[in-house]
Structure 1
Amino acid sequence: MEKRPLPKSFLAAPIAHRGLHDVGAGVPENSLASFGAAIERGYGIELDLQCSQDGVAMVFHDYDLARLTSETGPLAMRTAAELGQIALTGGEEGIPTLAETLALVAGRVPLLIEIKDQDGALGPNVGTLEAATVQALQGYHGDVALMSFNPHSVAALAQLAPHLPRGLTTCNYLPEDWPTIPKARLAELVPIPDFTRTGASFISHQASDLGSTSVLTLKAEATPVLCWTIRSEVEEKAARRVADNVTFEGYLPA
């Protein structure tokens, strides 16, 4: 499958994890305010997408609303209009759509977009969120790259938008970190076996596992390696021994 190269902008400035957020300062994660703050400092932006009940790509990390809002229950059971009226805890904004985010960013910094698994077991029951993402991106002219832990999602993106760069979000897949996923499926994913078949052009890997054989093999093949999530200059220095760029939060990289 043909791959699209990762734009060089993703290897330049560090990438703000869920935007440059600081809830204590009234700037929640994955909020328009956090994206504006990242733009002001010239950082790239990483964000997460979930799917609303009516099939709209929403910028939100969790499957449930409880951690990040005063509401509870699955995000997927609310419409985009309803979600837009739910304030993010610590801020004054509602949950933004991808379209609203794209209008704000307007190509000023690169956007690293993670599509959260909608299958529930990193399996093939995907497509709605991927289609909604590609629809929102129509006509967008800034640098953007799409990624997911679910290889089926990345393969779907290859079919829906072969012109967009895509990658795999990866980690060591420890069962204690993925209690709802069958252990056999986790073991399958450890060696990153889907990189070629999905037409991926980069990975974004767990920082503490950058020394794994699968990562170093891809690195030796000149594959761009991003990593998550760096929280200090010390961690950044260690990660950059392997990683070409870092996704960060909680401090301001140089």
Structure 2
Amino acid sequence: MPAPDPARTAFLRAQPFAHRGLHGDGRLENSRAAFVAAIAAGYGIECDVQASRDGEAFVFHDADLDRLTDQTGPLAARDAAALDGIRLTGTDETIPTLFQLLARTLGRVPLLIEVKTPATDILPICRAVARELDGYRGPAAVMSFHPGVARWFRRNVPAIPRGLIVSEEDRHGPTHDARRTLALAHAKPDFLAYDIRSLPSPFAARFRARGMPVLTWTVRDAAAERIAAAHADEVIFEGAHR
């Protein structure tokens, strides 16, 4: 697999990424307040997106609303109009849309968008993300555990850098090595986002040596920082950084 064009992925190596925004100290993950704080600090923003029932991209990590709102049940079961009225727990904020995040960021810091997919149909969320990124002028990349997401963007919106998220936790041995290789061949990503618990990894090192950027998540302490410095190109972090 040829190395990606370094110019397309240089922004991924240029600064740390705040995992789900710079949350904590009263700021919820994937909230407008967390994104504003990350922008003010000059960090890139990592966020999660998934599709409403009618195909709009909302910035939210969990499949269900229960943990972070006063509502229950799957986010994907609600239309955009209903989701617009749901407040994040303990805040005056509603669940942000990807459109709102892009409008707030305006290219001031890079965006790393994790595309959350159902097991059955990745097309609604891929199309929703591509639609919102159409015409966006700032640095942005997409990534997913699902290799079909990177494959879809490569075929349909090749200008957007795409990554494959990888974890080797509880998945060792030749069978899983083969599956990772097949996923990489299917996705043909521009970068890898690797579980810090899985580093160092011969698999990640092999592709990093070929020029593919390797980011690592989620870095939360000094020990993880040291591992990341030795085995990755940049971090996706939570909490105090450096």
Structure having the larger proportion of residues in helix: 2
Q: Is residue 24 of structure 2 the alignment partner of residue 28 of structure 1?
A: no
- Tell me what 1:224 maps to: 213
For 2:136, the aligned partner's letter is: Y
For 2:226, the aligned partner's letter is: K
- Tell me what 1:109 maps to: 109
- Tell me what 1:70 maps to: 70
8 Å Cα contact 2:199/2:227 also seen in 1? no
- Tell me what 1:19 maps to: 21
Q: Distance in 1 between matches of 2:168 and 2:218?
A: 14
Q: Distance in 1 between matches of 2:236 and 2:209?
A: 21
Fraction of identical pairs, as percent:
43
2:147 corresponds, among 127, 145, 151, to: 151
Q: Distance in 2 between matches of 1:148 and 1:48?
A: 10
Q: Distance in 2 between matches of 1:95 and 1:4?
A: 35
Q: Is residue 156 of structure 2 the alignment partner of residue 160 of structure 1?
A: yes
SS at match of 2:183: coil
- Tell me what 2:100 maps to: 100
TM-score of the two chains, using structure 2 as the length reference: 0.91
- Tell me what 1:179 maps to: none
1:211 to partner: Cα distance: 1.6
Runs of 4+ in 1 over 4 A off after TM superposition: 1-6
1:13 to partner: Cα distance: 1.5
- Tell me what 2:39 maps to: 39
Q: Distance in 2 between matches of 1:138 and 1:107?
A: 13
For 1:149, the aligned partner's letter is: F
Q: Is residue 80 of structure 2 the alignment partner of residue 80 of structure 1?
A: yes
Moved more, 94-103 or 209-218: 209-218
Q: Is residue 211 of structure 2 the alignment partner of residue 215 of structure 1?
A: no
For 2:227, the aligned partner's letter is: A
1:35 to partner: Cα distance: 0.6
For 2:237, the aligned partner's letter is: F
8 Å Cα contact 2:53/2:77 also seen in 1? yes
1:130 to partner: Cα distance: 0.2
8 Å Cα contact 2:9/2:190 also seen in 1? no
8 Å Cα contact 1:112/1:146 also seen in 2? yes
Q: Distance in 2 between matches of 1:189 and 1:50?
A: 29
Q: Which runs of 5+ in 2 are unaligned?
A: none
Q: Distance in 1 between matches of 2:165 and 2:106?
A: 24
Q: Distance in 2 between matches of 1:243 and 1:250?
A: 19
TM-score of the two chains, using structure 1 as the length reference: 0.87
For 2:90, the aligned partner's letter is: G
Q: Distance in 1 between matches of 2:123 and 2:114?
A: 14
8 Å Cα contact 2:169/2:198 also seen in 1? no
Q: Distance in 2 between matches of 1:160 and 1:246?
A: 28
Q: CA, structure 1 residues 75+248, in 2 after alignment: closer, same or farther (shift >3 Å)?
A: same
Q: Distance in 2 between matches of 1:86 and 1:228?
A: 29
Q: CA, structure 1 residues 131+61, in 2 after alignment: closer, same or farther (shift >3 Å)?
A: same
Q: Distance in 2 between matches of 1:46 and 1:189?
A: 28
SS at match of 1:218: helix
Residues 43-78 of structure 1, C-alpha deviation per residue, up to 9 Å, x if partnerless?
Answer: 000000111011001100010001111111000011
Residues 68-113 of structure 1, C-alpha deviation per residue, up to 9 Å, x if partnerless?
Answer: 1111100001111211211112322110110000000000000000
C-alpha RMSD of the superposition: 2.1
- Tell me what 1:234 maps to: 223
1:212 to partner: Cα distance: 2.0
1:191 corresponds, among 170, 177, 180, to: 180
- Tell me what 1:172 maps to: 168
